[in-house]
Every structure is written in C-alpha cells, then in structure tokens.
C-alpha cells in the first residue's frame, strides 16, 4: 500500500484484510477492534469499532444461547472458550474499516482490498506459527463445515506450508470495492447474517446493525519520563490498567526488585477502584488477538488492534467471514450468559499505543494476547520509556504476567527475579518464549524521519521498511 502511494491508514487497513485470510483465527471482519491515528502534527484520536451486545428490537420467545465449550491448551496453562452462534456479538470491524478509510484513507478502496482479494483467490501460505495456532483451536474451527473449509486442503487439515484459500471472502471484498457494501446494513452483509441468526440461536438483530456506530474517542494520555503515552481509553480496559500501573510506579532501574514492583503495580491496577467501577458498567472481553503498526513518509501513524476473540466456529454465509465469539466468556456475564442489556459497547483489553518521545521520536505499538495484553505492553513501555532501550530490545525482553493463581514468567530473567517473586506467591516459569505472552509489533519514526520496525518473534511478527 505504501509503495502504491497509500498512507499509513490505508496500509493498516490493507494489512488487516490480508490477515483475515492468512491469520484466519486471529482477526476477521466478523470481529471488532480499535484504530489509533496520530497526525504528523500530533493530533491523535481513537476509532472504537469493537463489538456491541446484541438483541435490540428482538421479538418472540427468548432462546437459550447455542454454546459449545472448548478448552484451548497452551504449553503452560489452559483456557476455556464458548463458541457457536450464541457467542456472536454485534461485529463492528466492517464499519470500522469503512469509516477509517473514509475518514483517513488516501488510496482508492479497490486498491486497499486488492492484496487480500489476491490472497483469498490465489492462496496464502500457512506460516509455521499459524499452524500452531490452528492446532490450538482446531476444535473451534471444526465446529461447522463452513468454518472447517477455511483451513482445509485437499489432503485434510492445513499444515505449515499449505495454501489457505478463501474465495468467498475475495468475492465479498470485490463487492465492497464496487460500492455494493458501504455499511453493515448493506444487503450483501446484513441479509445472510440476519438469516443465520434467525435459523440458529444467535442474537444479532436488524436493529443491532442499523444502530451500530463507530465511536471516535480522545486517547488516554500519560506523561512519563518526558514521553507522552497515548492509549486506548475506557470503556476499553487495557489502556486504563496500564495507565494505573504507570501512575503507581516510580521510574524503574531494571533491577530485580524494580520488576517485582512492576508485578505488584500491575496486580494492583487490575483491582483498582477505577477498573472495578468500569467493570460494573461495561461487559469486559479479555480476548485480543492481532496488531499492526504503520508510519508513512509524512509522519502519519496508525496503530490498530483487531480481534475475533477465539472465533465462534460459525461463518457468515457466503462471505467467508468467520464470526466472533465475544459473548463466550463465563465471567463476562456474572448473572448468566446473555443477561446483559442489548446495545452496550463492550469493553476490551485491546490497547493500541502511540508514544511521543522527548527526542522527537514517535513509536506505535500494540499486541494481541488476551489478558496478557496489559503485561506485554507495560513491560515493553517501561523498557522503552524508563530504561531507554531500543525498540527491538524492548520488544524482545522477557515478559511476566500476574494472574489470580500465580505469576507467569518467560525465561531470560535475572535468576533473582523468580526468587523474589516467590515471596508473594507461586511462580510458573515457562520453558521458552511463547505466543501466550502476546506479540508486540511496533514501528518507531525518529525525529530525522528514519524508521525502525519490529515484529515480535513470539507471534512470528513481520516488519518491513519501505524505501522512498
């Protein structure tokens, strides 16, 4: 997109659509997300196109949600997801894509969708890490025949090196480029989705689609060590938790004791009054899955995180769009599944970030990783802002994540760190760095216009600097 004259937003949008084919589990136009845009002069906004709770204008008897519990087993822990039609929230990704292009894009829509159309038609090579992810969620992807086809090959389930095709998605994108799809209420999108909902125990309604709006928000700003850190504001949770932790922490010096302070601050921020008050008002989705950061020659920066949850195992008929499972978390609804009122913008741990440094540099970053989003970004920000290390080393450094039961640690820490942490509770040391701890993909533009880009190896991240 950049080579073709598109700007940073065009490139982020094009990349997101390409990921819908090549990273079919991580993101989809059937999910939602957030786009932070910073102009060359510093004006910054966040476009919130995350999911809404469904059910506006619903009539007829209330139906039980159609759920299937699935356990995803990582090397060091496991996580239960609920999938099926009843797990699908109102998807905002299509509206977010179209609104972002209208608001900030420079390239023609047909050019923005073209790479993803080619991938859907001709195939995208399944990378080794994506093959690992498919193994983790294979039970979800096999829930329906239509979903299984997204990862099937002539010899069966896809393996690393195989080609993934999605001709239905390519055809849908061409309809977008031709102007047949301009919103969620456009017939090629709305009709098959609503028909699916009527014939299953799904809850998305015509009124849900008609009333959905992309919300433009002011970023949450935190000043630290001369840097201005812009983060995703409430009702999203990730930026707030990171901001609370940054506010409670003195500047760290990188010593083992300072990293113990980071764990304590992160744990306290997760339980803070502000977070608790927000949790009472907003249903919180902890899932978050993929990120892209782009800066262009003019200095426009885009930091975009999108998610399909773990995926519902249900495909939007005829479009090749894998629908989200944002409603499939038990602790999302303490009063029971679908006890929340319809029409609420759901909260998320997703937290695209842009950092303006005192030296004139600007850095965009973000990550997937469910609950680990907050810890992955906090550790990267502290290395970048407090310890003044390069963006590549800030991303590569070992990570930690406190949860209710124990502190999860990647290898590579000073051996005193786990010993000190054991004074506060159990510690689980992983055998190797893992996608469980997120994938912080970042780009940094220096004051002289030079650029460094980093893709996190934990999620086989890719980075490229396009020469002028």
List all residues 6 or more positions away from 4 whose beta carbon is below 8 Å from its beta carbon.
Answer: 107, 111
Q: Which long-range contacts (CB under 8 A, 24 or more apart) does 388-392 make?
A: 390/452, 391/363, 391/365, 391/442, 391/444, 391/452, 391/454, 392/452, 392/454
Strand order in the sheet with 407-409: 400-402, 407-409, 427-429
DSSP one-letter string for 24-66: TTT--TBSEEEEEEE-TTS-EEEEE---B---TT--SS-----
Which helix (H) or strand (E) segment is 3 a member of? none
- Where b means 16+ CB within 10 Å and e means fewer, 376-414 reads bbbbbbbbbbbbebebeebbbbbbbbbeeebbbbbeebe
Residue 383 DSSP label: I
Q: In a 3-state reduction of DSSP, which class is residue 237?
A: coil
Question: In this structure, are residues 12 and 49 in contact, taking their beta carbons and an 8 Å threshold?
Answer: no
Of residues 44, 53, 289, 290, which has the active-site annotation? 289
Dig out the tokens for 291 from the structure: 């990120």
289 is an active site residue: yes
Q: Which candidate, 241, 230, 301, 324, places its Cα nearest to that of 275?
A: 241
Name the H helices within 213-304: 238-248, 256-270, 273-281
List all residues 6 or more positions away from 40 whose beta carbon is below 8 Å from its beta carbon.
Answer: 298, 299, 300
What positions carry a catalytic annotation? 289
């Amino acid at each position: 997109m950049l080579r073709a004259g598109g700007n940073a937003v065009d490139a982020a949008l094009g990349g997101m659509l390409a990921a819908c084919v090549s990273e079919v589990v991580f993101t989809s136009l059937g999910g939602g997300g957030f786009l932070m845009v910073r102009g060359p002069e510093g004006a910054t906004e966040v476009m919130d196109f995350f999911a809404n709770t469904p059910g506006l204008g619903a009539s007829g008897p209330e139906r039980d949600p159609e759920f299937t519990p699935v356990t995803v087993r990582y090397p060091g822990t496991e996580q239960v997801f609920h999938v099926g039609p009843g797990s699908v929230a109102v998807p905002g990704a299509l509206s977010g894509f179209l609104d972002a292009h209208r608001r900030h894009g420079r390239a023609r829509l047909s050019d923005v969708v073209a790479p993803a159309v080619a991938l859907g038609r001709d195939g995208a090579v399944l990378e080794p890490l994506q093959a690992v992810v498919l193994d983790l969620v294979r039970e979800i992807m096999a829930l329906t025949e239509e979903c299984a086809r997204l990862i099937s090959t002539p010899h069966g389930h896809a393996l690393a090196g195989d080609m993934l095709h999605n001709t239905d998605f390519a055809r849908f994108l061409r309809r977008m480029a031709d102007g047949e799809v301009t919103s969620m209420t456009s017939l090629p999108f709305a009709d098959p989705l609503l028909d699916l909902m009527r014939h299953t125990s799904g809850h998305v309604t015509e009124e849900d689609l008609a009333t959905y709006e992309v919300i433009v928000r002011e970023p949450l700003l935190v000043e630290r060590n001369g840097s201005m850190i812009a983060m995703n504001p409430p009702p999203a949770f990730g930026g707030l938790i990171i901001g609370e932790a940054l506010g409670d922490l003195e500047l760290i010096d990188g010593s083992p004791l300072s990293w113990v302070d980071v764990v304590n601050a992160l744990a306290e921020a997760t339980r803070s009054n502000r977070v608790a008050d927000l949790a009472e008002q907003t249903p919180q989705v902890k899932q978050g899955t993929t990120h892209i950061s782009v800066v262009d020659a003019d200095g426009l920066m885009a930091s975009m995180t999108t998610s399909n949850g773990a995926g519902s195992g249900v495909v939007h008929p005829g479009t090749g769009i894998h629908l989200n499972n944002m409603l499939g978390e038990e602790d999302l609804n303490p009063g029971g599944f679908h006890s929340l009122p319809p029409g609420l913008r759901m909260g998320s741990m997703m937290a695209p970030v842009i950092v303006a440094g005192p030296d004139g540099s600007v850095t965009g970053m973000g990550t997937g990783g469910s609950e680990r989003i907050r810890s992955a970004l906090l550790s990267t920000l502290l290395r970048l802002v407090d310890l003044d290390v390069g963006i590549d080393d800030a991303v590569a450094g070992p990570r930690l994540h406190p949860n209710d039961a124990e502190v999860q640690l990647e290898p590579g820490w000073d051996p005193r760190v786990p010993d000190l942490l054991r004074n506060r509770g159990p510690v689980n040391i992983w055998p190797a760095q893992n996608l469980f701890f997120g994938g912080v993909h970042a780009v940094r533009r220096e004051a002289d216009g030079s650029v460094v880009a980093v893709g996190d190896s934990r999620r086989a991240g890719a980075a490229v600097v396009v020469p002028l």
